[in-house]
Amino acid sequence: MSRFIIRRVAYMMLTMLVATLLVFSLSRVVGDPRLLYVQEGGYGLSPEAWDALGVKLHLDKPVAVQYLYWLRDAVQFDLGDSMLDRKPVSEILYDALGPTLQLAFFGWIFATAVGIPLGVLSAVKRGSIWDYLGRGVALLGQTLPVFWVGIMGILIFAVQLRWLPVGTMPDEFSFKHFIMPAITLGWFSAAGYLRLTRSAMLDVMDSEYIKLARAKGVNATVVLWKHAFRNAIIAPLTFSSLVLAGFITGAIVTETVFSWPGLGRLAFTAVDDNDFPLIVGLMLLFTFMFLLVNLFTDILYAYVDPRIRFS
Amino acid sequence: MATANTSEAPVLKVENLRTYFRTRWGEVKAVDGVSFELRKGETLGIVGESGSGKSVTMLSMMRLIPIPPGRIVEGTITLDGEDLLQLSESEMSKVRGSKIALIIQDPMTSLNPVFTIGNQVTEAIRIHQDIPKRSVMEKALEVLRKVNIPAAESRIRDYPHQLSGGMRQRVVGAIGISCQPLVLIADEPTTSLDVTIQAQYLKLLRDLQQESGMSLIFITHDFGIVAKMCDRVAVMYAGKIVEVGSVRDIFNKPSHPYTEALLASVPKMEEDVDRLYAIEGQPPLLHDLPVGCSFADRCPYVMDRCREEYPPEFPVDEGHYSACWRLA
Amino acid sequence: MAEVTTTLSRPRVRVPSWQTIRYVLRRWPVAPIAILIILVIVGVAAPLFAPFDPLRVDLKARNTPPFWVPVETELRTVKQTVDKLSEEDRLNISLRNARKIKEDAAVGDVISVITTPAGSFKHLFGTDQTGRDVLSRVIFGARVSLMVTAVSLTSGVVIGVAMGLIAGYADQIFPKYGKHLDEAIMRVVEITFAVPVILVALVIVIVFGKSFIVLLGLLAFVAWNAFPRNVRAEVLTLKTSDYVALARISGASSFRILFVHIFPGVLNTVLVIATLRVGQLILIEAILSFLGAGVQPPKPAWGAMVADGREYLGSAWWIAFFPGIGIFLVVMSLNFLGDWMRDRFDPRLRQLD
């Protein structure tokens, strides 16, 4: 098992390196990279600033060397300064990381707490009200556009009914503020979990080993949870990595809708303002988070399904 | 072959079992009035085509029929004195695995892939027997050795995918006998095994049976296995038993046209034919059974009476019955 | 032996007429198809259906509600001073503020009367913040979505299917390194699956600007990567069939075999995948427009309209509402249609998505 983990970690590092390469080449693809630092409709850069930037980016050296300089800085968390704020990018990212992580956490809780149990219920009580409820929830989650759900939520629950706050994260922790953003973020994934768990349960419950377990005399509830569910959960587990990856995307929209001070909204404003260093930092951070999540799910998956461990 | 003890009451008696399924094409009468007896130490073979109702009969006996589409309409299943169909679900789950056990067909999928062999073998023991934990593991090892699993102590920690097909089937067998059942049902246990492994496995089952005195029900479509393993045979067609008798009677004096046809379609080494014999026609649709004998459309001896009324069982010899109007 | 004949003893059932209708309704996805047909017709012939020019500004008719909303009058009265100014103060005016407007204001006085106009049949869905007719914008937005989706889907299909065909048949086309080509293609596809689309979209937009072409390219990229895997699997199966072997023996070139013999067998799968993908494409286009990276204003696009409507949620909720419903209806119809097609034409594709 530990060999497996080491292999996976090494693989992740390698992928991360490739990602940095890709991000770097993106900045060099349009010719002179300093152009990216010039704001549209702004004053441009003075000749001195232009030259200074050239030195900073080591433009006199070959591209490969530039890359190495850049990489060295990046590893030390020096990603330059944001063009708009003039604050170091790493600092901005750090401030925004917390809110996004918290939102992602609650979103994930919602997605699993709703998706998986409903999926099991929907499979076990096929044709009943639970089944239709579950499938309805799943359908809506996958067809309603994320931003529209958030906006309608604000409209109904914040503006009309005044039950929940409009948005934004307050300074001290307030659970009420998480409700709508978490649901908005997580609903699409809840739908995915639901459908996946449901079909996995249906497949498993039809299998021969379940029949044998019942033939052994194991009682129905134990068969359901110990034998069936344990097998059915494998598929949703791998799905988790997709879910959390989807959150990266979903966070951009959700945070924008709710004015949430996290990485997603940061990404949006960065694009809007053409703030290149910030974008680069965001991309690196997102990639890293994505790879980390993948790593964890891979390990978890191997732990749960013994067949994987030995390959 | 174990000889049957004919003077005692049968250990298992199935009377007039009917199991129907509600489908969108109508009501499927998968088992439609099946009755048979099984004595202590006896091996009964149930033979028939797929769709004849053999597996459903077996599942009905264990009460493992999925209840929304299926239901057991009528019948009694008397095991060791009590009617299994009258038991509550929790009482029934105590019977399953301990008094009546099952070996199913496909070794590749009959063991749960995420649990160890040990876990799955001890589970049955733990549920049915009230013995201290340490002894549970010992019992498991004992039963694994009985089915000839080499190096049982280390195997017990393995996962199913680490074992070969033959070994998996032995583990399934071990689970089956682990609580010394009165009746062991084997549903085509050798179909997915290699021929050489088949022979070993059948011998194993015979040995286990002789040692414990349990009764065996063998569900198969292979007459070779029937000849080797069984004392008595019941032939099923379209949800009913059409002929029942000792192996010798059935092979030497088949009295139902279907049985004759089945035996004729087994290729024989000495024969020199251009074409293998196959029964013409198709089995009837189980939701749309014809009035009268179900085999009428394919029967070479069909008479008018066959299409009017379903034949009752007629005695042919001692313990040998056949449901055919020819014997009237 | 007598001649044995088989009769299928199945009586013919006479089905009454209305049951036939129900039968048809159950087997065919009538509602989704109807919705989609309406959408296509309306979108293509948008100028015929839209009552107004979607770009026509009419500031006097700003923020008119949909036709069923009656006139609303709001009285603003003076309340006590409130310490924590909240959303309440939109309606209430603190005594202090009131005194700024009218010197001798007292608690209970009516300070101002706000009348929101009623909706009318002139603007069925109301108007937006600059007076543009929402219904017309929704209709033209449909047209934009339609066009964008059609173009990107087509290019995506072409590229994706081609890649799948080549990958599956690579060892025949290039005997020496065909297998590596196959693997390389599949790796690339795998990687693109992992990439979060919106993020990449945003970055591309930064580097290449917010143009229409960029949008089409992005969407083609999203559309493309669903095909190679399944198409390749089909090719692998079809590759071993007899008629392909026959064609090869007859000396047909690999390309001919691929496009004349194998390609038709792949069409079923492609159709199903394409239908399932279109819904996703529309959603992504909507999200991109919402974020400002898609269709640029003032061209009407559903996502952008929802974004606009965000600021006016309290006062003019219909600006955001109707485009969203449009997206929802279309995507749902596409999902249903796609599921049905998959069940009918290629049940093997029944996975999560």
What is the rounded end-to-end Cα distance, in angstroms, of chain A? 10
Does residue A107 register a pLDDT over 50? yes
**A45 pLDDT exceeds 70?**
no
Sheet architecture: strand order including B82-83? B26-38, B12-23, B70-79, B82-83
Which residues in chain A touch residue C207, judged by CB atoms under 8 angstroms apart? 26, 29-30, 36
Distant-in-sequence, close-in-space partners of C330: CB < 8 Å, separation ≥ 6: C35, C36, C39, C142, C145, C279, C282
pLDDT digits (tens, 9 = 90+) for C137-170: 888 888 888 888 888 889 989 998 888 888 888 7
Q: Are A256 and A154 in contact (CB under 8 A)?
A: no
Number of neighbouring beta carbons within 10 Å of residue A235? 20
Q: What's the pLDDT score for residue C1?
A: 43
Give yes or no for residue B328 having a pLDDT over 60. yes
**Which of the four pLDDT bands, split at 50, 70 and 90, describes residue B4?**
very low
Q: Which residues form the domain of B219?
A: 12-99+181-327
The SS3 of residue B315 is strand
Q: Please tell me if residue C287 touches chain A, with a CB cutoff of 8 Å.
A: yes
What Cα–Cα distance (Å) separates residue C1 from each residue in A224, B298, B326, C7?
Answer: 54, 11, 16, 18
Starting at the edge strand that comes first in sequence, how are the strands of the sheet with B43-47 ordered? Answer: B100-103, B183-187, B215-220, B43-47, B232-237, B240-246, B320-322, B314-317
Long-range contacts of the stretch A222-231 (C-beta < 8 A, 24+): A224/A124, A227/B112, A228/A201, A228/A204, A229/A120, A229/A201, A230/A304, A230/B114, A230/B115, A231/A200, A231/A204, A231/A207, A231/B112, A231/B113, A231/B114
Neighbors of chain A by Cβ distance (3+ pairs < 8 Å): B, C
Q: Does B97 touch chain A (CB under 8 A)?
A: yes
What is the arithmetic mean of pLDDT over C253-277? 80
Selected for mutation to probe chain B from A203, A204, A209 (highest B CB count within 10 Å) is: A209
Query: How much of chain B exceeds pLDDT 90, in percent?
Result: 7
Contact A253 C309 (CB under 8 A): no
For testing the chain B interface, which of C1, C3, C5, C9 should be mutated: the one with the most B CBs within 10 Å? C9
Say if B66 falls within a structural domain: yes
Inter-chain touch B159–A209, beta carbons under 8 Å? no
- What is the tens place of the pLDDT at every residue in B121-149? 888 888 888 888 888 888 888 888 888 88
- Partner chains of B (3+ C-beta pairs under 8 Å): A, C
Which of the two residues, C65 and A311, has the higher pLDDT score?
A: C65
Give Cβ neighbours of residue A197 (< 8 Å, ≥ 6 apart).
A115, A116, A118, A119, A120, A123, A232, A233, A235, A236
Around Cβ A224, how many Cβ atoms within 10 Å?
Answer: 19
Residues sharing a CB contact under 8 Å with residue B6, sequence separation 6 or more, in sequence order? B39
- Rounded to whole angstroms, the Cα distance separating C4 from B279 reads 10
Interface contact flag, B285 C10, Cβ < 8 Å: yes
The β-bridge relationship of strands B215-220 and B183-187 is parallel
Return the DSSP state at A39: P
Q: Give dist(CA C182, CA C214) in Å, integer.
A: 29
Of A96-110, A205-219, B207-221, C331-345, minimum mean pLDDT range? C331-345
Amino acid at A155: L
Q: How far apart are CA A299 and CA A4, in angstroms?
A: 8
Nearest chain C Cα to A247, which residue? Answer: C196
Tell me, yes or no, whether B121 lies in a domain. Answer: no
Out of B280, B297, B302, the one facing C7 most closely (by C-beta) is B297
Q: What is the pLDDT of residues A139-177, one digit of tens each?
A: 888 888 888 888 888 888 877 777 777 767 776 677 778
Residue B7 inside a domain? The answer is no
Contact status, residue B261 vs residue B223, Cβ threshold 8 Å = no
Q: Cα–Cα distances in Å, from A254 out to A178, A210, C51?
A: 11, 42, 34
Cβ-defined contact of C335 to A199 (cutoff 8 Å): no
Q: Point out the least confidently predicted range of A170-174, C177-181, C302-306, C335-339.
A: A170-174
Contact C318, C126 (CB under 8 A): yes
Could you tell me if residue B164 is inside a domain? Answer: no
Nearest to B112 among A127, A209, A215 (CB): A209
3-class secondary structure, C195: coil
Q: Which of B89, B102, B127 sits opposite A212 (nearest CB)?
A: B102
Whole-angstrom Cα Rg for chain B: 21
Instruction: Please give the pLDDT value at position B5.
Output: 46
- The answer as to whether B205 is a domain residue is yes
What is the pTM (predicted TM-score) of this model?
Answer: 0.73
**Is A255 within 8 Å of A100 (Cβ atoms)?**
yes
- Please compute, for residue B231, the number of CA atoms within 13 A of its CA located in the half-sphere on the CB side: 20
What is the complex's ipTM, to 2 decimals?
0.76
Classify the C-alpha dihedral C52-C57-C58-C61 as positive or negative: positive
Task: Report the DSSP pairing between strands B12-23 and B70-79.
Answer: antiparallel
- Provide the terminal-to-terminal Cα distance of chain B, rounded to the nearest Å: 34
Question: First-to-last CA distance in chain C?
Answer: 57
Contact A279, C206 (CB under 8 A): yes
CATH number, domain of B314, equals: 3.40.50.300
Contact A51/C at CB under 8 A: no
- What amino acid occupies position B113? P
* Mean per-residue pLDDT of chain B: 84
Higher pLDDT, B129 or A80: B129
CA–CA gap between residue C262 and residue C269 (Å, rounded): 12
Query: Has residue B112 been placed in a domain?
Result: no
- Residue B22, φ and ψ in degrees, nearest 5: -90, 115
Q: Would you say residue B131 lies in a domain?
A: no
Distance (Å) of CA A236 to CA A120, A205, A296 = 11, 16, 14
**Between B232 and C244, whose confidence is greater?**
B232
Select, from the ranges A105-109, B110-114, C24-28, C190-194, the one with the highest average predicted confidence (pLDDT): A105-109
Contacts of C198 in chain A (CB under 8 A): 249, 252-253
Q: How far apart are CA A270 and CA A263, in angstroms?
A: 10
Taking only the tens place, the pLDDT of each residue in B229-284 is 899 999 998 888 989 999 988 888 888 888 888 888 777 777 677 777 777 777 77
Cα(C72)–Cα(A305) distance, integer angstroms: 62
Nearest-Cα residue of chain A relative to residue C350:
A199
pLDDT surpasses 70 at C81: no
**Chain B residues whose beta carbon lies within 8 Å of the beta carbon of residue C7:** 297
Give the closest of B280, B284, B285 to C4, CB-based.
Answer: B280
Tokens 């088989």, residue located: C6
Model pLDDT for residues C83-121, shown as the tens digit of each residue: 555 555 555 667 777 777 777 777 777 777 777 777 777
Tell me how far apart the alpha carbons of residues B100 and B95 are, in angstroms, rounded to a whole number.
Answer: 6
Q: Is residue B139 part of a domain?
A: no
Does B114 contact A at CB distance below 8 Å?
yes
Residue corresponding to tokens 């022979």: B199
Most confident stretch, A26-40, A48-62, B119-133? B119-133
Sheet of C72-79, strand order: C93-94, C72-79, C110-116
Give the mutation candidate from B89, B98, B105, B110 for the A interface (greatest A CB count, under 10 A): B110
What is the average per-residue pLDDT within A64-79? Answer: 78
- Percent of chain B scoring above 70 in pLDDT: 97
The tally of domains found in chain B comes to 1
What are the Cα distances from residue A307, in Å, to A237, B152, B164, C215? 15, 20, 14, 43
What is the maximum alpha-carbon separation in chain A? 84
Please state, in angstroms and rounded to a whole number, the distance separating the CA atoms of residues C109 and B165: 90
Give pLDDT, residue B267.
73
Which of B282, B288, B298 minimises the CB distance to C10?
A: B288
Tell me which residue of B89, B154, B145, B93 sits closest to B123, measured CA to CA. Answer: B93
